[in-house]
Amino acid sequence: MPPERRLLLVGAGHAHLHLLHHASRLDAAGYRTTLVAPAWFDYSGAASGIAAGDRDPAEGRLDVAALARRNRVNYRQGLVTEVDPSARTATTDDGSRLGWDVVSFNIGSVADVGSGEGVVGAKPLVDLARLRERLRVPPAGRGHHLTVVGAGASGIELAAHLAARDDTDRVRLLERSLRVGAFLPPRAALRLTRLLASRGVQVLTQADPVRIEENAVVLRDGTRLPHDTVVVATGLTAPPLATRAPLGGPGGFAVRATLQHRDHDDVYAVGDCADFLPAPLQRIGVHGVRQGPVLLTALEARAGGAPAPVYRPQKRVLSILDLGGGTALAVRGRWWWLGRSSLALKRRIDRRWLATYKG
Ligand SMILES: Cc1cc2nc3c(=O)[nH]c(=O)nc-3n(C[C@H](O)[C@H](O)[C@H](O)COP(=O)(O)OP(=O)(O)OC[C@H]3O[C@@H](n4cnc5c(N)ncnc54)[C@H](O)[C@@H]3O)c2cc1C
């Protein structure tokens, strides 16, 4: 029998879900695994559609507690608030202190938002869920007036979805740079811009918000743009726990290609909360998904004294923007396709992935 080691998994992000699903391999390698995470995992592939009221929230939810139970992993519902790598302990939000021999973080990212009833952040997804609630009842005598700040992938998805609703009178999309979709192949960006225009989305480029208030966005030149609700999708950043010393840094937990912390071999981090030192990675779910098997092999290798595997990010990844109204934009490198078949492909990929963990 290999000696038993305490493995603490913090957060049930994509890579840790893979570990839970293969927990018997961790048992066989001699780990006693404990997971600390909220009870539900919300899948971002379905997030825009759910938030805009297009899809049922149950479609994108996974019951983390049930998954842990099925795979006989100790589960503690909650959040880790402090980590002490020298004492090898983690403190949870109910004040419990948990010891570990090896710890792995997969706690996602957050959106940088202001505060107020009408201000909704795109991440964490539990916050984005507030948008759905706010859209239930339009203001008296008119439709919703909505602003989305940030025209990255999630901002575009959200604006397109919101504009496809019958009860929205106005959707604005604010973008700081010169044009929307600069990260897309030029002709795909053009098609997307036409689609947004055909749905009546008011796109404001070179818009530089200096204040996001409950009822208005204030631009640098003093212009006030009123709204009922604003969604802030200006990019994802590492959560506070991943930015605090001694383990965290400005971009998250700094990890090597082996997914191990720069300064601690017994600390791993994956997904959006990791600052992957060999090359900056986009904060997209696909890295968490692909890091899952690497992390599992790394933990087995560590227990067996084998060399650590490394994570090699793909050069080009398939990303599919769900634009509501039954259409989506699929992009891989310079290839792209906008239409119903892209949405069908996305739904198929999402369904298959979620089915693995729904049991
Ligand atoms: C609107 C929107 C749409 C998106 N659409 C896509 C898409 O279609 N495709 C794509 O690839 N990416 C998409 N993204 C990006 C995607 O959300 C992230 O890149 C992805 O979720 C990151 O995965 P992760 O495994 O790192 O963490 P997450 O999926 O965020 O999971 C982290 C988990 O950790 C838990 N947690 C957080 N803090 C703690 C703590 N202190 N202690 C314990 N647990 C904690 C959280 O509750 C969460 O369940 C989208 C983002 C947004 C905002």
Give me ligand 1 centre to Cα 207, in Å: 27
Residues 142, 147, 152, 155: is their CA dihedral positive or negative?
negative
Q: Ligand 1 atom closest to Cα of 36?
A: 43
Give me ligand 1 centre to Cα 108, in Å: 4
pTM: 0.94
**Tokens read off for 230:** 């604003």
Give me ligand 1 centre to Cα 236, in Å: 10
Q: Which residues line ligand 1 (CB under 6 A)?
A: 10-15, 36-38, 41, 44-45, 47-48, 79-80, 106-108, 122-124, 128, 154, 157, 239, 241, 271-272, 283-286, 288
What gap in Å lies between CA 188 and CA 209, rounded to an integer? 27
pLDDT of residue 130: 86
Find where tokens 């990212």 sit. 109
Q: Ligand 1 pocket: which of 44, 61, 350, 351 to mutate (most atoms <8 Å of CB)?
A: 44
What gap in Å lies between CA 229 and CA 314, rounded to an integer? 37
pLDDT of residue 156: 96
pLDDT of residue 1: 53
pLDDT tens, residue by residue, 182-221: 999 999 999 999 999 999 999 999 998 999 999 999 999 9
Give me ligand 1 centre to Cα 107, in Å: 7
Q: How many helices (H) and strands (E) does the chain have?
A: 10, 25
Q: Ligand 1 pocket: which of 173, 284, 311, 343 to mutate (most atoms <8 Å of CB)?
A: 284
pLDDT tens, residue by residue, 120-171: 988 888 888 889 999 998 899 999 999 999 999 999 999 999 999 999 999 9
Give me ligand 1 centre to Cα 106, in Å: 9
Q: Ligand 1 atom closest to Cα of 346?
A: 8
**Tokens read off for 69:** 């139970």
Radius of gyration of the chain (CA): 21
Cβ-based neighbour number of residue 17 at 10 Å:
26
Length of the chain: 359
Whether residue 106 contacts residue 14, with contact meaning beta carbons closer than 8 Å, is answered with yes
What gap in Å lies between CA 315 and CA 332, rounded to an integer? 10
pLDDT tens, residue by residue, 273-310: 999 999 999 999 999 999 999 999 999 999 999 999 99
Q: Ligand 1 atom closest to Cα of 317?
A: 11
pLDDT of residue 117: 72
CA angle 221, 123, 179 (to 5 degrees): 40
| Burial of residue 6, with CB atoms counted within 10 A of its CB: 0-12 exposed, 13-18 middle, 19 or more buried | middle
What gap in Å lies between CA 133 and CA 141, rounded to an integer? 19
CA atoms within 13 A on the CB side of 18: 21
Q: Ligand 1 pocket: which of 107, 112, 322 to mutate (most atoms <8 Å of CB)?
A: 107
What gap in Å lies between CA 305 and CA 322, rounded to an integer? 44
Q: Ligand 1 atom closest to Cα of 41?
A: 49
Give me ligand 1 centre to Cα 1, in Å: 36
Bridge partners of residue 91, in order along the sequence: 82, 97
Q: Band of the pLDDT at 2, cuts 50, 70, 90?
A: low
Give me ligand 1 centre to Cα 186, in Å: 28
Give me ligand 1 centre to Cα 344, in Å: 22
SS3 for 192? Answer: helix
pLDDT of residue 55: 87
What gap in Å lies between CA 266 and CA 257, rounded to an integer? 14
Please determine, for residue 106, whether its predicted confidence score (pLDDT) is greater than 60. yes
What gap in Å lies between CA 270 and CA 268, rounded to an integer? 7
pLDDT of residue 113: 67
Please determine, for residue 109, whether its predicted confidence score (pLDDT) is greater than 70. yes
Backbone φ, ψ for residue 39 (5° rounding): -70, -25
**Tokens read off for 238:** 């590492």
Mean pLDDT of 18-25: 98
Residue with CA closest to ligand 1 atom 45: 11
Q: Ligand 1 atom closest to Cα of 271?
A: 26
**Tokens read off for 123:** 């991440």
Among candidate residues 251, 240, 264, 242, the one with its CA nearest the CA of residue 88: 264
Q: Ligand 1 atom closest to Cα of 123?
A: 53
CA angle 122, 239, 146 (to 5 degrees): 15
pLDDT tens, residue by residue, 244-268: 999 999 999 999 999 999 999 999 9
pLDDT tens, residue by residue, 53-99: 888 888 899 999 999 999 999 999 999 999 999 999 999 999 999 99
Domains detected in the chain: 5-109+238-304 (3.50.50.60), 112-235 (3.50.50.60), 316-359 (no CATH)
What gap in Å lies between CA 112 and CA 117, rounded to an integer? 16
How far out from the chain centre does Cα 84 lie? 26
